[in-house]
Amino acid sequence: MPTFFQPTYRQARQQFLRAAAEQPLNTWQTARIHPLKGCEDEELALDALWLGPRDAEHLLVVQSATHGVEGFAGSAVQAALLNQKVSLPNDTALLLLHAMNPWGFSFQRRVDEQGIDLNRNFVDFTRLPENPGYAELASALIPASWSPKALEVADQQLEAYRQQYGETAYEVAVSGGQYTHPEGLFYGGQAPSWSRLQLQALAEELELEQRKAVAILDVHTGLGDYAVGEVICDHPPGSQGVRWARRWYGEAVTEPLLGTSSSVPKQGLIDFFWHELLPERCSFVTLEFGTGSTPQLFHVLRGDHWLAQQPLSSVDSVQSLAIQQALLEHFCPAASDWRKAVIAQGLQRIDQALKGLAEW
């Protein structure tokens, strides 16, 4: 099973396209080509594959690489699914969206080419959310230097904020989404990103708003207990989306708005696109595979964003490589037990979603 994890975006995409070409249920396929090239000068694309009847009223969507570097896991799950004989219930189709953020996947960063976190980009840009907590912490989150002394001082400032306001408020300030610091963590942008525009265009082309029941699984990594695929549901408590999620996935479902999740409530999630497109007719869940602690998550992201701001000639190559490797290891651990767990649980949740749609 770990062989479905590829070392680069280019190889992951090749694997996906080969498997798609061999699928007997393949009824439609497209590639939305990105205007930039990847780190190997390769073509970048959001690849979409539709399996099953085009007019199906029930649909399962499986997304990967919403956060670029996290795409290794989502791509592996999609490849594992395509490697087996795909069977769909009556009047049900499957849509695979490979590499929502292909630039980030290729360059092994969580953000896109503009520094935008796609999972904070789905907001009304005429009324941007405010996050005063992030503004207060910005200089400590990304200090001017990545030296041990500078990090010690910055970490003390972050800890003082956490002690004063509490863990939840601290995590919301850091990761809830911010729209004022383009170089910073969890930046939602000032306009719709390339990826958001492609998703909107695909939804219109595929007439997704006409479907009667849609399940969406968005595969992520980096938050929560090691090798556990937490099923995070950001639908309003008590809504149809939550009821379907609990019926389909059982006790694994957690809700940030109720404080039961490893994730705090956030702004601009890609979830909200689907909520608005299919009110009371979809259940969107984030399948989040844990890899390490939240402090570790914040630390590797801080290092990545600090490094991105530095002129290449000014950073020691050893330090640069260490920061990049720490980021990759956090979001895609090399351990075979973790990778096996991702594929096994990913296929399990896909099977549960399809059965849930069939029962509906």
- Tokens 């073509």, located at residue: 43
CB 138 within 8 A of CB 306: no
The pLDDT tens digits of the residues spanning 46-66 come to 999 999 999 999 999 999 999
Token pair 């490849």 is found at: 79
Q: Which amino acid is at 320?
A: S
Task: Supply the pLDDT for residue 21.
Answer: 96
233 with 285: CB under 8 angstroms? yes
Query: What is the DSSP annotation of 288-320?
Result: EEE-S-HHHHHHHHHHHHHHHTS-GGGS-HHHH
pLDDT tens figures, 81-112: 999 989 999 999 999 999 999 999 999 999 99
3-state secondary structure (DSSP) of residue 36 = strand
pLDDT (0 to 100) of residue 270 = 98
Calculate the average pLDDT of the chain: 97
The domains of the chain are located at 2-125+191-293+333-359, 132-185+295-329
CATH superfamily of this structure's domain 2-125+191-293+333-359 = Zn peptidases (3.40.630.10)
Contacts with 83 (C-beta within 8 Å, 6 or more apart), sequence order: 4, 19
* Residue 2: pLDDT over 70: no
Reply yes or no on whether the pLDDT at 330 is more than 80: yes
pLDDT for the residue 79: 98
State the DSSP string of 127-185: S----HHHHHHHHHHS-S--SHHHHHHHHHHHHHHHHHH-HHHHHHHHHS-BSS-TTST
The pLDDT of residue 240 is: 97
Of 327, 356, 121, which is closest to residue 243 (Cα–Cα)? Answer: 356
pLDDT at residue 360 tops 90: no
Tell me what the mean pLDDT of segment 207-222 comes to. 98
Per residue in 226-274, pLDDT tens?
A: 999 999 999 999 999 999 999 999 999 999 999 999 999 999 999 999 9
Q: What is the largest CA-CA distance in the chain?
A: 62
Question: Does the pLDDT of residue 24 top 90, yes or no?
Answer: yes
